[in-house]
């Protein structure tokens, strides 16, 4: 695989660095593209790969292109890819991580012989603990799906899902780390209020959520079952849970996912 990446920000860099660490691709077979000198330098330092200011050099060598721009820049980037590859007949796979932008929009902007995959990773990919989903365009092949699985799976969990669910993925796991950070911060604040030093409260809160998430993934038990295992009759945990229910934590998180999903719908509708 010869891999190109347009948009060498944190997410794109994390995906490439993870793929290199996992042996999915060699750094010598990777080219990054970003107009920002600082982003190009950071990308090269993190991955060992070259980076250029324009996509022209990607056209000659790369058969897989990661499109890691912001949603409002995605069609401009797609047009740049099309122009840079106008004289090349080699089919290419483009994997876009732009939130909300549907495959129909991406395919309409791409050359007819290009294949498209839409994906939504999240920022914990930076530490190899990402959660991502992807869906295939009309011209994508099973081999393309395997490529997406290898790239996204090199930095965490990767699931293939129907496109109709991708905006929900954006609302849940794409935006979800921010919700988790708020919960960690709030738990730490509670610890400080109860007398713990700030630094120790923050470490305890973060490690507690890490441990809880690991138990859900490793045990294959429903979170409600695991919750009940911690909740003794008349004990401290049920007292805390009763307050969470009274103050609406569960409803607030459900509403947050819904709001982020609707915003992803809006971003897709405004692309053009």
Query: Each residue of 67-95: pLDDT tens digit?
Result: 998 888 888 888 888 887 766 667 789 99
Which pLDDT score is estimated for 268?
Answer: 77
Parts of the chain belonging to CATH 1.10.3730.10:
176-267
Q: What CA–CA distances, in Å, run from 39 to 36, 45, 90, 143?
A: 5, 10, 29, 31
| 173 vs 77: which has the higher pLDDT | 173
DSSP letter at 86?
A: T
Contact at 8 Å (CB) between 166 and 265?
Answer: no
User: What stretches of the chain show up as alpha helix (H) in DSSP?
Assistant: 10-21, 37-47, 56-61, 74-84, 103-109, 142-153, 166-169, 176-193, 198-219, 223-230, 236-247, 249-270
pLDDT at 272: 46
| DSSP letter assigned to residue 110 | S
User: Under CATH, what is the fold of the domain 3-166?
Assistant: Rossmann fold (3.40.50)
- Tell me the pLDDT tens digit for each residue of 225-252: 999 999 999 999 999 999 999 999 999 9
pLDDT over 90, % of the chain: 71
The second-level CATH assignment, the architecture, of 176-267 is Orthogonal Bundle (1.10)
pLDDT for the residue numbered 58? 78
| CATH 3.40.50.720 location in the chain | 3-166
Mean pLDDT of 45-51: 92
The Cα angle at residue 114 between residues 108 and 118, in degrees rounded to 5: 70
112-152 residue pLDDT tens: 888 999 999 998 988 889 999 999 999 999 999 999 999 99
């Amino acid at each position: 695989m010869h891999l190109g990446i347009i948009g060498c920000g944190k997410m794109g860099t994390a995906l490439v660095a993870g793929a290199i660490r996992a042996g999915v691709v060699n750094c010598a077979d990777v080219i990054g593209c970003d107009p920002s000198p600082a982003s190009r330098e950071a990308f090269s330092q993190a991955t060992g790969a070259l980076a250029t200011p324009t996509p022209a050099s990607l056209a000659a060598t790369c058969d897989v292109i990661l499109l890691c721009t912001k949603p409002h820049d995605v069609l401009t980037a797609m047009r740049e890819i099309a122009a840079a590859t106008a004289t090349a007949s080699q089919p290419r796979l483009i994997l876009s991580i732009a939130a909300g932008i549907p495959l129909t929009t991406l395919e309409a902007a791409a050359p007819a012989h290009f294949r498209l995959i839409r994906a939504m990773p999240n920022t914990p990919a930076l530490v190899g603990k990402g959660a991502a989903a992807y869906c295939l365009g009309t011209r994508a092949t099973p081999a393309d799906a395997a490529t997406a699985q290898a790239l996204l799976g090199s930095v965490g969990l990767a699931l293939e899902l129907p496109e109709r669910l991708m905006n929900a993925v954006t609302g849940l796991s794409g935006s979800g780390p921010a919700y988790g950070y708020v919960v960690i911060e709030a738990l730490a604040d509670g610890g400080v209020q109860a007398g713990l030093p700030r630094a120790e409260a923050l470490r305890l809160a973060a490690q507690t959520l890490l441990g809880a998430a690991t138990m859900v993934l490793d045990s294959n038990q429903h979170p409600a079952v695991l919750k009940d295992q911690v909740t003794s009759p008349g004990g401290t945990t049920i007292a805390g849970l009763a307050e969470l229910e009274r103050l609406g934590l569960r409803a607030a998180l459900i509403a947050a996912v819904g709001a982020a999903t609707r915003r992803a719908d809006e971003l897709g509708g405004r692309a053009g």
